[in-house]
Structure 1
Amino acid sequence: MFDAVIAKKARMSKILHDAKRNPREDLVTSSLFGVLPFLTPAARQEALSVLCGHPLPSDAKIYLWPFFVGNGESSEPDVVLEFTHEGRAAYWIVEVKWGAPLGADQCAREIRTLSFGRCRRGGVPPGPRKVLGYTLLGAERHHELAVATLHEDARSGKLKAVPAEGIRSLKWTTAGGNLRLLEAASFDPGLKAWAGLSANFIAGQPQGAVLRTWPKMTPPGRGGFAFDGEEKFALPSMTYVQKARYEFGDKQ
């Protein structure tokens, strides 16, 4: 949240009262990514790999809400990651969604402007830049067409700035489950705490809630019931109930 306030994506006086725009996505982005610079490089690499849905080849520098312009268009990706790939700088975009729709041509525009545009705010080094991937974090059903179109454009060569295999789409349920696995497997205290806190937050929200395992069921103790074979019923269509018995539990 500190990063969201500093970047003026959310104002403390407007978060709960008199908000003209809903800053939830920016607060989630800040909470997930803003603390990662405090982790060790190895832990940060693991954390970002989970959030990207793809194993990053190295640690990465995190840019939140950089602003790009170029070729008559502009964009403001939520997160841009800069890392080293095959000896040179490479980039990955993470767009965070908390229910809001994607803008018209938003994904491709973010990729194009990061690749060839000028960074007017955010400190991303000058281009051209090699973009290896794009992740939509928080994907929902109404995002499926936009992601499918982006993937097809990359596969066909219409969008040459990113490889098709680098396009990822993660639901919050998937991200929360992956964070839970990371928490269980990690021995780094900082990474373990971040993953656990993030997973708990996601699981507690409607977007990330999942059906958990069934509770352990204890079989009832031994018992039984029986019908009297001589019992009569008033209705003419029914005669009597045959004597029957059912026992619960294992026989002694």
Structure 2
Amino acid sequence: MAAAVVVVGAAQRERPSAPAVVASLLGELLVTAGVLVLLFTAWQLWWTDVVADREQAVTTAALVDDWRSLADGRPVAAASAVPPALADPAPGAPFALVHVPRFGPDWDPRPVVEGTSVDDLQAGVGHYPGTALPGEVGNVALAGHRNTYGRPFHEIAELRPGDPVVLETAEGWFVYRATTAEVVPPSRVEVVAPVPGDPSAVPVERLLTMTACHPIGSARERYVQHAALDRFVPRGAGAPAELAGGAA
């Protein structure tokens, strides 16, 4: 008789209602979605930096090796205010390194590649096609991430007037000095014009402009850092003092 009571009790046990089942499934889906979002965020903010840092370091080492072999046998030349003309780089090709001492001793020089596509900016700092090359009259315009993919310009807002920004090529080092900075909407493309802010003007100076998204983690605005060429140091003369003495 006791066994029969147990069976009847089990038969009479209430099943979960349809809304309860749906709510439970929805909760599980939300938890799963949350885990996936966290994993994606970790991938975007951390793993892309790991991969990009490794790949950009390989590119940097290859450029340095090539330049070292080209420099063998070249005569030592003095620093000059009139730098040599550079050949136009191929799209997507690395052709320079950017050194920013202000970013600290742990910040490695980054390759500069021709172009500003998604792939180009994952490979390093992008050079806006059609803008001046290092040392030319006009405006060398560069773009870099502040977040993800090695975030080369993460600390761009730390630059101060007079800080060196050095572009290294096969020919030597182009030492620029930071001048002014501004925050603009993405539509203000004239900041990378030959004369920043005045597309119709004829350039007479050798300038550099660095751009990055602003604020960090957002593409709402652009942080823009301008600089002007101080001097050119030929490779045979050895690296400029700015690369050994920090930001001073």
Structure 2 length-normalised TM: 0.26
Q: Which protein is richer in strand relative to its size?
A: 2
* Higher relative contact order, structure no. (Cα contacts within 8 Å, ≥ 6 residues apart): 2
